[in-house]
Copies of this chain bind each other. A is one copy, B any other.
Amino acid sequence: MLFAHGARDPEWADPFRAVAARVAADRGDLTVRLAFLEFQGPTLPDAITGLVSAGHRSIRIAPLFMAQGGHLKHDVPKLLAEIRSRHPDLAIELLPAIGDVPELREAIAGWLTRSIPGARA
């Protein structure tokens, strides 16, 4: 379950849809879904209820957030408590935020390092 913030602008979600499509293409053994915290649907609890109804018993949630702020520290634990009370037998794992994954920080830093030409000063 890829979990993104959501925005009023529906185009905002395009990069997340592209990532979801790529993971789904690479991992035919997984069911890949996208859910949102606000502005866009489905919500995380609704998306998870959909997967449970389809027979899934183990769900990994990947928060596609740059860093751990109030949303991941406060809102997401509340959503997880709600989900666990609705689905007590479901195994749920929460993956780290993008910026908390050393490999992804390296990828961002590496891209910046390569994409900026030499200083002109």
A-side interface residues toward B, CB under 8 Å? 2, 4-5, 7-9, 11-16, 18-19, 22-23, 26-27, 29-30, 55-58, 60, 62, 64-70, 73, 95, 97-101, 103-109, 111-113, 115-116, 118-121
**Contacts known (A8-B70, A15-B100, A66-B15); A23 close to B105, Cβ less than 8 A:** no
**Contacts known (A7-B70, A12-B68, A12-B69); A26 close to B109, Cβ less than 8 A:** yes
Number of copies: 2
Give 21 CB contacts A-B under 8 Å: A4-B67, A5-B66, A7-B67, A12-B67, A15-B105, A16-B66, A16-B67, A18-B99, A19-B99, A19-B105, A22-B106, A23-B109, A23-B112, A30-B119, A56-B121, A58-B121, A64-B66, A95-B115, A101-B111, A104-B111, A107-B107
